[in-house]
Amino acid sequence: MNIAVIGTGYVGLVTGVSLAEVGHHVTCVDVDNDKISSLRKGNITIWEPGLEELLQKNITHGKLFFTTAHAIACENAQIIIIAVGTPENEDGSANLRYVEQAIIDIANTITHRVTIVVKSTVPVGTAHRMCTILQENLQHGVSVELVSNPEFLREGSAIEDAFRGDRIVIGADTLSAFDVMEEVYRPFRIPIYKTDVRSAEMIKYASNAFLATKISFINEIAAICEQVGANVDLVAAGMGMDKRIGDKFLKAGIGFGGSCFPKDTKALIQMARNVGYDFEILNRVVEVNERQKVLLVEKLLERFGSLEGKQIAVLGLSFKPNTNDIREAASITITERLIRHGAKVIGYDPIAIEYAKNRLNEQMTYAKDLEAAVSGCDAALILTEWDEIKEVDVRVYHVMKTPIVLDGRNCYPPEIMAQHHIEYHSIGRPSAGGQYIQPLL
Ligand SMILES: NC(=O)C1=CN([C@@H]2O[C@H](COP(=O)(O)OP(=O)(O)OC[C@H]3O[C@@H](n4cnc5c(N)ncnc54)[C@H](O)[C@@H]3O)[C@@H](O)[C@H]2O)C=CC1
Ligand SMILES: O=C(O)[C@H]1O[C@H](OP(=O)(O)OP(=O)(O)OC[C@H]2O[C@@H](n3ccc(=O)[nH]c3=O)[C@H](O)[C@@H]2O)[C@H](O)[C@@H](O)[C@@H]1O
């Protein structure tokens, strides 16, 4: 099929590449000239394992094209997928100006019947509202169908998610729209869940909010574990063995970041507020997360009293491993706070440094590797559980002025750190690690 994708951010690009990979003819359009010229050369801006190779392969095979002209992208398209950003407004609600502009761009361009797919995360009712705007701006005689098809991929494993996701959600009002979407996604062999448009829009927010709730829940359990001498990792493993609970998204740490959980939780709270409902649990999920993000700084202040003149290494800058994305990463809040308390901060990340440089506090400096980062430091904070950090020989911390490690991602067994005489503070675990008894299966 001929498919146009509007917006070549993270989601638009992964969508374009994966649809081309299964044999569709895809043209991606973006208003950002630099992005398009870089993508045409086969270069990606947000690093993702395997993405650049698939991009280059599909460009070379003539299945994937990039343009800045909506008319070129939409000319022969049977499907137009909207994958533009929906950032946060000041009050937490979703800002729809890019989606609205994309709809106008489409309306100004198409001269034939087409199915328009909203993949951007949008509040319930948006697709129907966009349909009205579209009808008002369409050229005479053209008819369109509007479909909601929210995206569930995760950064860092987007290719895996695109080809092996748990479900594809399609919200539509007509059987013909479902038929078209089934044709688009049939090659992926992923279960398709068909529903009405508004429910599809809500599935996206409810899913992200539920996952965020699991994270804040386990972080609260971690806070209690620290007080009562239990080990949150062992608790989560034991809970996760119950299939009704599941073992995913129960990793305690320094809270959730990234371009979606923080904004989507707030947007759902706002969506509820607009209809007079106070989403109490979700309010608390967000509050717990704000507290969790600065927990390591609190622990550091408790340990040192003052951070004035202290040299602190920050290990891991991206919001999670396997991406160079630092949007809403804990590293932003933590480095700001450390610098405000008078600390000197030196950062290290396996791949996010270049991306981080313009976005983190300008007083921060960067190291070429982990050893250089911690060398001579008063303390090291671990913010992202990169394999490189988890698998390092922990004796590297002996090059510090004082080997004090505050681990926001529970990367090491506390016993090992104790054996190597490293002062070690992690999340929700007693410093001796707690007793681990293998379950009898
Ligand atoms: N980043 C992620 O992992 C996920 C994001 N989502 C959702 O997908 C949507 C897109 O997210 P990202 O890709 O991260 O956004 P992004 O903000 O990184 O990229 C959006 C792109 O759209 C382009 N654009 C804006 N208006 C345009 C127009 N009228 N015509 C053509 N191009 C236009 C921008 O220049 C930009 O390159 C959001 O609603 C987000 O919530 C959903 C699942 C995962
Ligand atoms: O809507 C979106 O944009 C996407 O948001 C998340 O994906 P993503 O933000 O890429 O990353 P996650 O793996 O979900 O991690 C988000 C944050 O939660 C944190 N996290 C995750 C899991 C966990 O157990 N504990 C925990 O603290 C991570 O460190 C990270 O900061 C969802 O997992 C995707 O399904 C969704 O499509």
210-240: pLDDT as tens digits: 999 999 999 999 999 999 999 999 999 999 9
Q: What is the mean pLDDT of residues 408-412?
A: 98
Cα-to-centroid distance, 256 and ligand 2 (Å) = 7
Taking the CA of residue 29 as reference, the ligand 1 atom at the shortest distance is 31
Strand-pair partners of 29:
6, 67
Q: Indicate the top mutation candidate among 86, 151, 215, 334 to test ligand 2's pocket, ranked by most ligand atoms within 8 A of CB.
A: 215
* Chain position carrying tokens 């740490």: 253
* Chain position carrying tokens 């995760």: 154
Enzyme catalytic residues: 260
Q: State whether the beta carbon of 121 lies less than 6 angstroms from ligand 1.
A: yes
Q: What is the mean pLDDT of residues 370-391?
A: 98
**Mean pLDDT score of the chain:** 95
pLDDT at 143: 86
Distance (Å, whole) CA 60 – CA 72: 19
Report which bound ligand comes closest to the CA of 105: 1
Report which bound ligand comes closest to the CA of 98: 1
283-307, pLDDT tens digit by residue?
999 999 999 999 999 999 999 999 9
Q: Which two tokens stand for residue 16?
A: 């374009």
What's the burial of 284, exposed, middle or buried (CB within 10 Å: 0-12/13-18/19+)? middle
On the question of pLDDT at 437 being above 50, the answer is no
170-198, pLDDT tens digit by residue?
999 999 999 999 999 999 999 999 999 99
pLDDT at 82: 98
CA 177 vs CA 198, 296, 373, 437: distances in Å: 15, 50, 54, 54
Taking the CA of residue 150 as reference, the ligand 1 atom at the shortest distance is 42
Nearest to 378 by CA among 311, 323, 433: 311
CA 415 vs CA 32, 397, 412: distances in Å: 51, 15, 8
Distance (Å, whole) CA 434 – CA 235: 11
Report which bound ligand comes closest to the CA of 328: 2
On the question of pLDDT at 440 being above 80, the answer is no
Tell me the pLDDT band of 362, cut-offs 50, 70 and 90. Answer: confident
Task: For ligand 2, atom 12, name the residue with the nearest CA.
Answer: 154
Q: What is the mean pLDDT of residues 316-324?
A: 95
Q: Indicate the top mutation candidate among 51, 251, 260, 334 to test ligand 2's pocket, ranked by most ligand atoms within 8 A of CB.
A: 260
47-69, pLDDT tens digit by residue?
888 999 999 999 999 999 999 99
pLDDT at 433: 52
| Triad 9, 207, 82: Cα angle to 5° | 30
- DSSP structure string for 198-259: HHHHHHHHHHHHHHHHHHHHHHHHHHHHHHHT--HHHHHHHHHTSTTT-STT---SS---SS
User: Ligand 2 site: residues with CB under 6 angstroms?
Assistant: 121, 151-155, 208, 211, 215, 249-251, 253, 256-258, 260-261, 319-320
Cα-to-centroid distance, 261 and ligand 2 (Å) = 7
Cα-to-centroid distance, 375 and ligand 2 (Å) = 31
Nearest to 17 by CA among 76, 73, 57: 57
- Residue-range domains of the chain with CATH: 2-195 (3.40.50.720), 197-288 (1.10.1040.10), 294-441 (3.40.50.720)
Cα-to-centroid distance, 61 and ligand 1 (Å) = 25
Percentage of residues of the chain with pLDDT beyond 70: 98
Nearest to 152 by CA among 124, 109, 192, 197: 192
pLDDT at 315: 98
435: Cβ contacts below 8 Å, ≥ 6 apart = none
Q: Which two tokens stand for residue 48?
A: 């993702």
Distance (Å, whole) CA 302 – CA 295: 11
Tell me the pLDDT band of 140, cut-offs 50, 70 and 90. Answer: low
